[in-house]
Amino acid sequence: MVRVLVLQHIACEPPGAYEDVLLERGATIHRVELDEGEPLPELDGFDAVVAMGGPMSVNDEGEYPWLVDEKRLIRRAAEEGVPFWGACLGVQLLASALGARVYAGTEPEVGMLPVRLTADGSADPVLGTLPTEFTTLQWHGDTFDLPRGAVLLAGSLAYPSQAFRLGRAYGVQFHLEVSVAMAKEWAGVPAYGKYLDRVLGPGSLPRLIQDVAEHEPELRDHGRRMFQAWIDTHVGART
């Protein structure tokens, strides 16, 4: 039985469709709510690590000191070949843990926006299961440099670094795991709601929720396909 460590940074950002796939595969999930002060377990005994999004920056170690230990665990997972999957904040944590710079982009990227695979992405056994260009939900303002030795798998016009891999560690900046219910929960978080109004303008929430609803089947189909390929290629091969 596969045992997966899930790192969450806010209750409303669970793995969504990714978690559905894990449960369907019979995986045992050990969830840690880091923002609630729950302690990190030892990495030993876990077959994979999944890190999700959150409202904080990876650089906010003074305000969130647990980020130091979390990045240490992520770095160890990557170095020891423990399969890792990071989404949004999760990919930024992976980049930071591996020594790359994470910083504010020129402008926030929020909404239903296209992402395009690189040539390496199209050839990748995980990201290559997706179309060359596909629609994603974006909700972030930070970006990252690639860690040394990493392979860029996808990019967008505003943010060229959208996905990368390094060994069995993968990270994606975009969201394919979301449902309409999850998006509504995000918008209900004061920090997220204010961010949305600032970027897209006051009253933009109904329009964004409608866009998510229109694309939800496609998002989750792509998310499930991609995540299943990661499990089959890397988690299954290791176990």
Residues labelled as active-site residues: 88, 175, 177
How far out from the chain centre does Cα 67 lie? 16
- Strand runs (DSSP E) across the chain, as ranges? 3-8, 28-33, 48-51, 84-87, 102-117, 133-144, 151-155, 163-166, 169-172
Please report, in angstroms and rounded to a whole number, the separation of the first and last CA atoms in the chain.
9
The sign of the CA dihedral 59, 62, 64, 66 is positive
Query: Among residues 74, 86, 145, 152, which one has the least CA distance to residue 118?
Result: 152
- Strand runs (DSSP E) across 145-219, as ranges? 151-155, 163-166, 169-172
The 3-state DSSP class for residue 210 equals: helix
Angle between helices 205-230 and 17-24 (to 10 degrees): 30
Query: Among residues 12, 23, 17, 14, which one has the least CA distance to residue 4?
Result: 23
Q: What is the dihedral of CA 114, 115, 118, 119, to 10 degrees?
A: -60
How far out from the chain centre does Cα 10 lie? 13
